[in-house]
Amino acid sequence: MNVTKTVTAPLNAVFAIVKFTAANPAGPATAWIDNVVFEETNLAYTYDGNGNTTQDKVRGISNIVYNSLNLPTQLTNGSGTVSYGYLWSGARWFKKIPGSANVSYYIRGTGGELLGEYTNTPSTVNYLNRYGADLEGKWQKDTGTDYYYMKDHLGNIRQILRNSSGTPVITSKTDYYPFGAVLRETSSNTSAEAKFKYQNKERDIETGCDYFEARLYDSQTIRFLQVDPLAHKFLTMSPYVSMGNNPMYYTDPTGEEIQGSKEDLEEAKKLIDKAIQDNGIKNATVTVETRTETSVDLLGTLANMLMGSNEVAFQTETINYLATSGDGWAELANGTQTTGNEWADKGLIGLSDIIRSETVVNFQMTDQGPFPRTSLSEGMGGGSNLDGVSPRLSPLGNAKNPYDSKVGIFFHEVVGHGHPDSKNGDENKIGRAFGGLSTNPHGGSGGYQGRGFKRPAKLKLP
């Protein structure tokens, strides 16, 4: 018995769910059915072989064409076809909107940061961005006006201020839903003046999607249009998911890898301060510091060489880190000051070693991770003795777990698993020295992802 069934899905469907029953009128009540073919039509989304979204009916996008880097080069909607071009590094170079003969070009800094845009020729600059520690505002050429951005802890632009003869005037206020869709907005700015929104990213006026550099992001469906280029590092998470499904805590600066915030280290400092105070150690403190590192951009340099230039390209990275201060740390190491507990001494000395070393320790401080029940040790956190390999530790502490203190869990994970000289079993002794990890009840949900859930909170030599 051959049956062909065509399924028409509702507009917003990603796939169709079909219940098919059949009976053989000439035989028993139950019949075997062979060669059943289902053809899904009218789906909201279609994809190419690399997993890139090629059609999005919700946004009115009928076709998207991608290059070899899985970056969109042409996007067609009801207004026509938008064209995009890219540098060898993958950074957007130009954009051409349908209905206009003009081409907008992006001005990039040596680190790839967006400095501004011009139309057709460099002499026709549209705007120039202003940077401090981050993007802080811009100068709009057509009005000769300076604008400044007021952002929240995730980098979302909440207010835009205009410099009016030295007096700041609020010209725009924006509130967002958690994943970036605009909840409400009051603005006297043009779309060009208020083009940066969620997580400080450009919201493309032609699509309503946010340009996250490596991918396009749709804040309405809270998903990316392309597969995560680093999907192999997050095997338990959909390659289209955004912000680890936790947009109140995580950001995704480039569309490749989610990050936490400086609050990770601030929380770590509190736990370390408590351990120092409870154990009576004098003249030993930690501070949270921030610095910018510049390194050679190999892809950018190669691109310059291919274009006939010998100019070396550079990239910059902002790093938050812990630093130690005070003679108490050295006194712990040489034995002139002690906690009176061998394993507490080892924990503090080991922590000092890690902070002062060049080893990068990536970790997060959270009660509920983005990957429930996938941690190596559910409830407490995840870690592994990696024999000198750069460790990744996450999460550190479940405040709702009655069996363990966050201080003990912190030292268990960071020192017990993170120190290259730590042996199996040492992590429990170190954790217990600070009042934690007396048992493993598997009582909570964790967020450790495959030993490679990278945090921006890096412990490095200042």
What pLDDT digit, counting tens, does each position of 3-57 carry?
A: 555 555 555 554 444 444 555 555 544 445 555 555 566 778 899 999 999 999 8
To which residue do tokens 């945090």 refer? 455
Residue 442, domain member (yes or no): no
To which residue do tokens 């009005």 refer? 143
**pLDDT for the residue 209:** 95
Same domain as 56, residue 30? no
Residue 75 has pLDDT above 90, yes or no: yes
> Using omega within 30 degrees of 0 as the cis cutoff, is the peptide bond preceding 395 cis?
yes
Residue 454 has pLDDT above 50, yes or no: no
Same domain as 344, residue 200? no
**pLDDT for the residue 373:** 28
Residue 459, domain member (yes or no): no
**pLDDT for the residue 370:** 38
Same domain as 222, residue 327? no
In DSSP notation, 238-303 reads -TTB-GGG-TTT-B-SSSS--B--THHHHHHHHHHHHHHHHTT--S-EEEEEEEEEEEE-HHHHHH
In DSSP notation, 199-231 reads GG-EE-TTTS-EE-SSSEEETTTTEESS--TTG
Same domain as 60, residue 37? no
Same domain as 268, residue 195? no
**pLDDT for the residue 337:** 94
Residue 147, domain member (yes or no): yes
> Average pLDDT in the 389-412 region?
50
Q: Which of 107-116, 127-136, 256-265 has the lowest mean pLDDT?
A: 256-265
Same domain as 201, residue 104? yes
On the 0-12 / 13-18 / 19+ scale of CB atoms within 10 A, 402 is: exposed
> Average pLDDT in the 69-83 region?
94
**pLDDT for the residue 378:** 27
In DSSP notation, 367-399 reads SS-SSTT-SSBTTTB-----TTS--EE--B--T
Residue 454, domain member (yes or no): no
> Average pLDDT in the 366-394 region?
34
CA atoms of 358 and 353, how far apart (whole Å): 10
**pLDDT for the residue 40:** 61
Cα distances (angstroms) measured from residue 371 to each of 355, 385, 395 = 27, 21, 10
Same domain as 272, residue 217? no
Residue 461 has pLDDT above 70, yes or no: no
Residue 325 has pLDDT above 50, yes or no: yes
Same domain as 57, residue 34? no
Are 457 and 265 within 8 A, CB to CB? yes
Q: How far apart are the first and last CA of the chain?
A: 74
What is the residue range of 408's domain? 263-433
Residue 152, domain member (yes or no): yes
Number of H helices, E strands in the chain: 6, 24
* Amino acid, single-letter form, for residue 302: L
Q: Which of 42-46, 219-223, 291-295, 358-362 has the lowest mean pLDDT?
A: 358-362
To which residue do tokens 């009016």 refer? 164
Q: Which of 221-230, 239-248, 292-301, 358-367 has the lowest mean pLDDT?
A: 358-367
What pLDDT digit, counting tens, does each position of 176-194 carry?
A: 999 999 999 888 777 666 7
DSSP 74: E
**pLDDT for the residue 240:** 94
Residue 83, domain member (yes or no): yes
On the 0-12 / 13-18 / 19+ scale of CB atoms within 10 A, 452 is: middle
Go through 404-438 and write b for each residue having 16 or more CB atoms within 10 A of its CB, e for each that does not.
bbbbbbbbbbbbbbbbbebeeebbbbbbbbbbbbe
Residue 94 has pLDDT above 80, yes or no: yes
Same domain as 286, residue 211? no
Domain count, the chain: 3
Residue 318, domain member (yes or no): yes
Structure tokens at 439: 């048992």
Are 276 and 348 within 8 A, CB to CB? yes
| Phi, psi (degrees; rounded to nearest 5) at 18 | -120, 130
What pLDDT digit, counting tens, does each position of 106-119 carry?
A: 999 877 889 999 99
Same domain as 152, residue 84? yes
**Final residue in a domain of this structure, among 223, 238, 253:** 238
Q: Do you know the residue count of the chain? A: 462
Same domain as 79, residue 7? no
Same domain as 56, residue 37? no
Q: What is the pTM (predicted TM-score) of this model?
A: 0.63
Residue 394, domain member (yes or no): yes
> Average pLDDT in the 353-361 region?
67
- C-alpha torsion sign, points 419, 423, 425, 426: negative
What pLDDT digit, counting tens, does each position of 425-448 carry?
A: 787 788 888 875 433 333 322 222
